[in-house]
Amino acid sequence: MNFFERQNEVRRASARLVVLFIVAVLAIVTLANLLVVVASVSGGSEPGEVAMFAVLVTIGTLIFIGGVSLVRTASLRSGGGSKVARALGAMPVPHDTTDPHLRRYRNVVEEIAIASGTPVPELFVMNGERGINAFAAGYTPADAAVAVTQGALERLNRDELQGVIAHEFSHIVNGDMRLNIRLIGVLAGLTALSVIGRILVYSGGGRQRGSSNNSGAPIALIGMVALLAGFIGVFFGRLIKAAVSRQREYLADASAVQFTRQTSGLAGALKKIGGLDDGSKLRNAKTEDVSHMLFGEGMNFSSLYATHPPLIKRIQTLEPDFQPENLAELRKQWRSQPPSGLREDAQLGLVAEHDMPAGGAQQSTTRATPAPTRANAPISIDPAAVVAGIGDPNATSYTHGERIRGEIPAVFADRAHDASAVVPLIYGLLLSADHDVRTQQHAILVGKYGRELADAAWQAGGELQHLDPHLRLPLVEIAFPALRNREPDQIREIMATLSDLIAADGRVSVFEYCLGTLVFSGLHEVLTHKPRWSGSGQRLHSSRAAVTPLLAVLARVGNDEPRAAEKAFRAGMNVVYPGDDVRFELPQEGILALEHVWPAVDGLNGQDKAKLIEALVTTVMDNGRVTLEEAELLRTVCAVLHCPMPPLA
């Protein structure tokens, strides 16, 4: 099952969720009506009154359940993944942390984000939670948050933490997060009646006990009806949660293994959950609300309600020879000496240099990182293989992402994590090498922010001139959480300022366009929680007017010679429109012509997007080389299409 098939499966799961929700609501309404009819008849009510009560109960129940579900879903959607994390008591990872556990955690997440072509999520830690667990939450990848427990950071070694984080990234990439948010909203509506019923029963009962009359009896009776109907909601809610979640956990495990190309990391994390007394349990009272989002079971459920496959089966899927008695041996061993993730890292040589605390206080073996090859030599990339890797990165992608992250100088990475330093850093990337243009850009910043920030951007721009060009967009990617974590007006000001800086010299380079498009798209989703372009229902055969200039621009970016550009263009067009004789013509607006392209191509269905990406890679590979500009533009196009593409190694 590839990325596009998994996206379709998520849509089918969403449809099933709606059907199950309707069935559950009908069951609740039926039971509520039955209870009201029995109570009314027992009280001597006339048939007409009974019918009226039934209608009122039906309307009231539907409005109440539907209203609670909609309000809860809208609330979570507007807050993004960070709202879910904070609701569980998770705290953001400080930008200047020297804690080796947190530094390792942040670097693993950034490596996986770079390797998978996914925006870097905001990072949280659940302090005080001794169980090993994690979750990813958000409505879109751009507003996602990842949270791990303190127990996971302390007990898991780097490979095991990679396996857990890769598992969570599978949920981000495949659209499970949006499904999970909707599921929380559905469950809130289904279970709300039981909460209200409990309150009314206690309230009515208290009045009865404290008063000589029975004025509290009607309240208690209404509460009892709501409570009994609510039990049906709780029952169906747990069943729906289990039905939607279990299979997706198996898929996320499989994706994590393919990504890291080793089962020992993920299997090791699962073994530690089974072998340690704290397991994966969370102490937070809201655990049940998000149990379907967690890496491991956050609380004890019966097998009927379990949101995850049995732990031993998850381990045996990765290591078929593993037996329950092996888990018992590990449990006995770890009770006498609990595992330490950092100590295991040192013993296994898994400590990356950029995981070490400032000042090099941690002494351990450092994993060697080979220097990348930057030569523009002929290479061979299969377009179909690139399409297969969309949303489904492999171990080569992870190795490349780890290497890229390791090459980013610490001085720039530290600024990228700092909310107060990240804005001048990003602006510095756009400052021109031409002194006159750069002076004009500096004046723009002075007018908007004052001299202090403008001077900081000027200084950053000078320092960034020496940064390897291959690291510029990855630096922007790891800066995104600090960039987005501010008030909406500030975000809009950043977007407007980026536009002004890019337009200062009257031309737009490929890098400027890619940086602007990636940041604009991501920040737009942070503000609105929906894609920047709202096109939908498009098909390739009706999108020729958008696809043609896209391929023309990409062909020209990779080929200075017009004949070579036309040849690359025709190679790509032959993939999407075989046999069509379309004239090669570069749009007058140049790369800015793509602004008219995005609404149509982002609205393509999954299979048409796959075919378009194959055409794009075919265009790039026509001359057997991939330039930096081609790679950056190709990845930007895939990001706009919401098809996360691993970097071309």
Active site amino acids = 168
User: What ranges in 211-262 are assigned the alpha helix state H?
Assistant: 217-260
Angstrom CA distances, 606 to 109, 139, 313, 430, 619, stand at 27, 19, 32, 34, 20
How far apart CA 332 and CA 339 sit, in angstroms, is 12
11-50 burial, b at 16+ Cβ within 10 Å, e below that, comes to: eebeeebeebbeebbebbbebbbebbbebbeeeebeeeeb
Handedness of CA 56, 57, 59, 63 (dihedral sign): positive
For residue 62, give Cα distances in angstroms to 48, 49, 70, 89, 91: 21, 20, 12, 32, 37
Q: Which residues pair with 145 in a beta bridge?
A: 122, 137
Q: Which amino acid is at 47?
A: P
Sign, CA dihedral 516-522-526-531, equals positive
Q: Which of 162, 317, 166 is nearest to 252 (CA)?
A: 166
Strand 91-92 and strand 145-149: the pairing is unpaired
Report d(CA 145, CA 139) in Å as an integer.
Answer: 10
- Please report, as a single letter, which amino acid is at residue 505: D
Reported in sequence order, the residue ranges of 419-458 that DSSP labels E, i.e. its strands, are none
Burial class (CB within 10 angstroms; exposed 0-12, middle 13-18, buried 19+) of 190 = buried
User: Under a CB-based contact definition with an 8 Å cutoff, are residues 106 and 123 in contact?
Assistant: yes
Distance CA 260, CA 348 (A): 16
Query: What are the distances in angstroms from CA 413 to CA 96, 107, 322, 418, 532?
Result: 11, 10, 41, 9, 28
Q: In sequence order, what DSSP letters do the residues of 131-188 get, joined into one string?
A: S--EEEE-SSGGG-EEEEEHHHHHH--HHHHHHHHHHHHHHHHTTHHHHHHHHHHHHH
